[in-house]
A and B are shown apart, each in its own frame.
Chain A
Amino acid sequence: MIKIKKEGKVTERQFSAIIINTILGVGILTLPREAVSFADNAGIISVILASLLSLINLLIIIRLGLKYPDKTIFEYLQILLGKILGKIISFFIICYWFVFTAFVIRTFSELIVTAVLPKTPIEVVIIIMLLLVAYLSYKDIQVLGRVNELYVFIVIIPILLLTILSFKRGHMIYVLPVFRGHSMVNILKSTGRSYFSFLGFEIVAIILPFITTKKLSIEYGIKGWLIPSILSVIVVIASISVFGVFELKNLVWPTFELIKSTQFFALIFERLEVAFIATWVIALFTTASNLLFGIAMGGAQILNLHKHKTLVLSLLPLLYLFALSPRNAYELFNLVDIVSIVGLILTTILPIILLILAEIRGKGGKAIDEESN
């Protein structure tokens, strides 16, 4: 039997792929450094904690979304909090996504410019990337789903392969001691920093109404969370075992350096980092387009526009300016830290509050639900 795909829908597999691709962005490129920044060897625990936290938040958002099965977060925010407050919070979420997208693009461009194309002006890299991102965001949701489904393996397999190969030069003694001799405070601080690389899963709040079989959304949501989490943990362990904690703190792009020091089949495959960058463009492109789609969608919904397409192109110049605003990589990383703290607060606290509100409302006033249906 041929599965009929409805207009404007995404399948469960595509749903997983969207989560995976949105999570895998620039975060993992700096994750090993962020993980060990405070916690030293316990960075592995920090990453696992961060990923578990993101799982909990993801499940809460899906639970919440299932209460309003055909509404995006921007629509049920207005139901739950009232028109004005809902719009304010929606606007806040959009702003956060907007800055997040801009910095994601900037971070990756920064890597390209420092590592691969030193003479190319960063503006050009950003503009080309933005045009590509906008091209996908301009399309409908099912196109977005298909593109994500297509690219998910192209993104995962190279990094997984290269990371596993890099274990060859690793020393397991560098990984220890994981559990002893670290203060809890430092582990939690590192968790906060590592959480940045798991951000992006909140895109489900937009995608959920379009999924074909809603019952399976939790199962496929977990699947979508699992792959980036395992990948992150492997990358962190590999980086620590190859570089050791103290060298890792000196590296601006630890994952990139990890791949740079990998060499296999003796001397035939040198310079794998360029191939890696080429595939990672896709990871970045999907992250940014998914988020830009979310932004345009949300913007359209709070401004009562009919189509999200109206906003995509008009947002591009603003995105460009935001992406260019940090002066250098250090300022960028400081700003990214701030964005990740905002993201941590936003994705942890807001969904819980909303879920509690929805439970209360759900008991008291079912009428609202029916009415809105």
Chain B
Amino acid sequence: MKKVIKIMIIVLLMNLLSGCWDRRDIEATVPVLGVGIDFIEEEDRDLTKSNKVKVTIQVPIPANMEQGEDVVWIISSVGETVAGAIDNLQNKLNQELFFGHLQVIIFSQDIAKEGINKYLNFFRNSPQIRRLSWLLIAEDTAEDIIKSEPKLESIQSIYLTHMLNNGVSTGRIPDIRLGDFFIRLSNPGEQATAVMLKADKEIIDYIGLAVFEGDEFVGSLDQPETLYYQRTLGVPNDTSNLVLACDPTTEIDRLTIKMQEVSSKLQPELKEDKIIMKIKLKVEAKVLEQLNKNNLGREDVVHQIERRIENKLKREIDKVIEKTQSKFQTDIWGFGEYVRAYYPEYWNKIKWEEEFPKIKISTEVKAYIRQVGMINFTGR
């Protein structure tokens, strides 16, 4: 009798423990790699305010992987909400959509202008989506980027992530992912930014940084401006170089400089109820190219070059800061967070959005040339 009961228990347990509700074979899922979100092109969209969105997704076709062509399938669907549009997409597919491998989420500039938060809610709420995915803003339509055909990689989203990751590791592209975007949306002392892209058939181009006020897109910094933005925040640079123009006062012609080590210190100071933001930047540079034969072994020449780097950086950084203060009036630098950290009592009294355009910012740049190359002009 006992044996029978035991066997019965085992049989029952086999039923219970073998299955799993959430078991899903890899063949039975459609992994989405990229999502693009646009407004649909309606003539009188502003009049009707229907705000229908068009969601374009990119899924790989495993069967074509070996031939290496037509590896991705791009389909799109329209809905009143993002989740609604994705639901409509599901109707067109044989298997279930899976967002766990989502790499890029692209919004068109139009959507971003209207406030991105309501369209992001779906991505925020879903446990499948990782905060390390990229949130991108397309200058034109998101669909264009998803449909572009880069040559080196057959899947656009993978190409894009590689491009972005390399950009981040070399310091060209700011490391602002979905999670960072959410954080910047929530923080009162800084404003959101996102990487901006433009696509043209075969080429996907990184064109700069989208600037937000709250969750509304207000403008963008172009690529060189973003470069200085990055340096101000202390991100070192590996690839982009700084070209110093010809300087008539000294005999030094054009120079190309690489900023290898950048360290920045942001320190707010409160004087008579006014914030002065002090930016101290220390740059270690390397001379890559010079058009005339300066002897870099001479100390005064090196010093001159260092002064020129300092002046150039300071001028450019001030320009970018001025642009954010007067044109956009949004604190994409996160200065507010520093003020909140160092002067919490003052912070509690003010409204940072009103205060930011008025604050004084002083930049101080110190440049050191560490490497001068392999040529030594001592002959003449």
Closest to B338 in A: A173
Interface residues of A in 203-262 (CB under 8 A from B): 243-244, 246-247, 249-250, 257, 260-261
Q: Which residues of A contact B131 (CB under 8 A)?
A: 257, 260-261
Nearest-CB distance from A268 to chain B (Å)? 14
Residue B186 contacts which of A119, A177, A244 (CB distance < 8 angstroms)? A244
A177 and B341 contact, CB distance less than 8 A: yes
> Would you list which residues of chain B between 300 and 316 have a CB under 8 Å from chain A?
none
B334 at interface, CB cutoff 8 A = yes
Work out how many contacts link A and B, with CB atoms closer than 8 A: 64
Q: Are A119 and B337 in contact (CB under 8 A)?
A: no
Please classify the interface of chain B as helix (H, G, I), strand (E, B), loop, or mixed, using the class held by over half of its residues. helix
Would you call B79 an interface residue if the criterion is a C-beta within 8 Å of the partner chain's C-beta atoms?
A: no
Measured between C-beta atoms, what is the minimum distance from B247 to chain A in Å? 37
The minimal Cβ–Cβ distance linking B288 to chain A, given in whole angstroms, is: 29
List B325-368 residues whose CB lies under 8 Å from chain A: 334, 337-338, 340-342, 344-345, 347-348
Per-position contact with B for A140-180: 1 when CB-CB < 8 Å, else 0? 00000000000000000000000000000001011011001
Check: A120 CB closer than 8 A to any chain B CB. yes
B120-157: CB near A (< 8 Å → 1, else 0) gives 00000001001110000000000000000000000000
Residues of B within 8 A of A364 (CB): none
Residues in A whose Cβ lies below 8 Å from that of B20: 117, 120
Q: Determine which of B22, B334, B337, B345 lies in contact with A180 in the assembled complex, contact meaning CB atoms within 8 Å.
A: B345
> Please, how many angstroms separate the alpha-carbon atoms of A160 and B121 in the complex?
31
Q: Are B337 and A174 in contact (CB under 8 A)?
A: yes
List residues of chain A with CB within 8 A of the CB of B340: 176-177
How far is B179's CA from A263's CA once the two chains are assembled, in angstroms? Answer: 13
CA distance A153 to B355 in the complex (A): 50
Chain B residue nearest to A115 (CB atoms) is B127
- B21 pairs with A119, CB closer than 8 A: yes
Chain A, Cβ-Cβ closest to B182: A247
Contact partners of A114 in chain B: CB under 8 A: 127
The verdict on A181 contacting chain B, using a C-beta distance below 8 Å, is yes
Asked if B344 and A177 sit within 8 Å, CB to CB, the answer is: yes
Contact between chains at A118 and B187 (CB < 8 Å): no
Q: Considering the chains assembled together, what is the distance between the CA atoms of A176 and B22 in angstroms?
A: 42
Tell me which residues across on chain A come within 8 A of B245, comparing CB atoms.
none
Contact of A246 with B186 at beta-carbon distance under 8 Å, contacts A117-B21, A120-B22, A261-B132 already known: yes
Which residues of B are found within 8 Å of A115, using beta-carbon distances? Answer: 127
Residue in contact with B22 in the complex, picked from A118, A263, A271, CB distance below 8 Å: A118
**A246→B238 CA distance, assembly (Å):** 33
Q: Is the CB of A250 within 8 A of B186?
A: yes
- Determine if B188 is an interface residue (Cβ-Cβ < 8 Å): yes
- Contact (Cβ within 8 A) B22 A243: no
Complex-state Cα separation, A106 to B331, whole angstroms? 43
Give B184 Cβ to nearest chain A Cβ, in Å: 9
Q: Is A121 an interface residue (CB 8 A)?
A: yes
B185 partner residues in chain A, CB cutoff 8 A = 247
Supposing A117-B22, A173-B334 touch, asked if A244 and B341 sit within 8 A by C-beta, the answer is: no
Tell me the residues in window 234-256 of chain B with beta carbons closer than 8 Å to chain A beta carbons. Answer: none
CB-CB nearest in chain B for A180: B344
Question: Hey, which chain B residues are within 8 Å of A261, CB to CB?
Answer: 130-132, 179
Quick one: which of B20, B131, B342 has the most chain A CB within 10 A? B131
Interface size class of A (residues with CB under 8 A): 20 to 34
Structural contact, B21 and A247, CB atoms closer than 8 A: no
| Chain A contact residues, majority secondary structure | loop
- What A residues does B183 contact at CB under 8 A? 243-244, 247
Contact between A263 and B132, CB atoms less than 8 A apart: yes
Let me know if B68 is at the binding interface, CB within 8 A: no
Nearest neighbor of A121 in chain B, beta-carbon distance: B21
Distance A176 CA – B344 CA, assembled complex (angstroms): 9
| Bound CA–CA A249/B344 (angstroms) | 19
**How distant is B119 from chain A, measured CB to nearest CB, in Å?**
17
Please report the C-alpha to C-alpha distance between residue A154 and residue B181 in the assembled complex, in whole angstroms: 34
* Binary per-residue interface labels of chain B (63-87) against chain A in the complex, 1 for a CB within 8 Å, 0 otherwise: 0000000000000000000000000
Cβ 8 A contact of A181, one of B22, B100, B182, B344: B344
Interface flags, A120-147, vs B, CB<8A=1, else 0: 1100100000000000000000000000
Cα A177 to Cα B341 with chains together (Å)? 5
Residues of B within 8 A of A116 (CB): 22, 127
Do B337 and A271 touch (CB < 8 A)? no
CB within 8 Å of A: which B31-84 residues = none
Interface members, chain B 153-183 (any A CB < 8 Å): 179, 182-183
Instruction: List the A side residues contacting B348 at CB < 8 Å.
Output: 181
Determine whether the beta carbon of B132 is less than 8 Å from that of A181. Answer: no
8 Å CB contacts to B: which residues of A241-294?
A: 243-244, 246-247, 249-250, 257, 260-261, 263, 270-271
Q: A246-B188, A263-B132 are in contact. Are A176 and B341 (CB under 8 A)?
A: yes
Contact between chains at B341 and A271 (CB < 8 Å): no
B337, closest chain A residue (CB) = A173
Which of chain A's residues has its CB closest to B175's CB?
A: A169
Q: How far is the CB of B214 from chain A (nearest CB, A)?
A: 13
Contact: B342 with A177, CB < 8 Å?
yes
* Residues B188 and A260 in contact, CB atoms below 8 Å apart: no
Chain A 171-206: CB-based contact to B (< 8 A → 1; otherwise 0): 101101100111000000000000000000000000
A27 to B128, CA, bound (A): 23
Is the CB–CB distance between A181 and B345 below 8 Å? yes
Chain B residues, CB < 8 A from A119: 21-22
A-B CB proximity, top 8 nearest: A181-B344, A176-B341, A247-B186, A120-B21, A246-B186, A177-B344, A261-B131, A119-B21
A-B contact pairs, 14 of them (CB 8 A): A117-B20, A118-B22, A176-B340, A177-B341, A177-B342, A180-B345, A182-B344, A243-B183, A244-B183, A244-B186, A246-B188, A247-B182, A247-B185, A261-B131
User: Can you name 7 extra interface pairs (CB under 8 A) apart from A120-B20, A176-B340, A263-B132?
Assistant: A118-B127, A177-B340, A180-B344, A182-B344, A246-B187, A250-B186, A261-B132
List residues of chain A with CB under 8 Å of any chain B CB. Answer: 114-121, 124, 171, 173-174, 176-177, 180-182, 243-244, 246-247, 249-250, 257, 260-261, 263, 270-271
